Amino acid sequence: MSAPATIVDVPPVDSIPRDLEGPVFREPWEAQAFALVVQLHREGVFTWTEWADALSAEIAAVKRRHRLLPPLADRAGAPARAQGHRR
């Protein structure tokens, strides 16, 4: 039986910082989401390239949508300054 693959075996993604043990994340949810992606990839749900292409397309779509929206302060009924998200 071969040893299980580790997170280090995943191809590097330029926008994700890495150390000697693999990717490092700012928030725990980022690591959990990435772990889910890695597991789905290992199970053959999608190739690494398919995931990277889909993620890139979604990021580009979000950037396009944000450029189309006026600044928050200019929206009808919006406060002059955005409030932080509350949990």
Query: What's 27-58 look like in SS3?
Result: CHHHHHHHHHHHHHHHCCCCCHHHHHHHHHHH
pLDDT at 9: 59
pLDDT at 40: 95
Q: How many Å apart are CA 38 and CA 30, to the nearest integer?
A: 12
Q: How many Å apart are CA 17 and CA 82, to the nearest integer?
A: 29
User: 23-51, pLDDT tens digit by residue?
Assistant: 788 888 988 998 899 999 999 999 999 99
pLDDT at 37: 93
Tokens of 83: 């409030």
Residue with the bigger pLDDT between 72 and 26: it is 26
Residue with the bigger pLDDT between 68 and 41: it is 41
CA angle 41, 60, 73 (to 5 degrees): 130
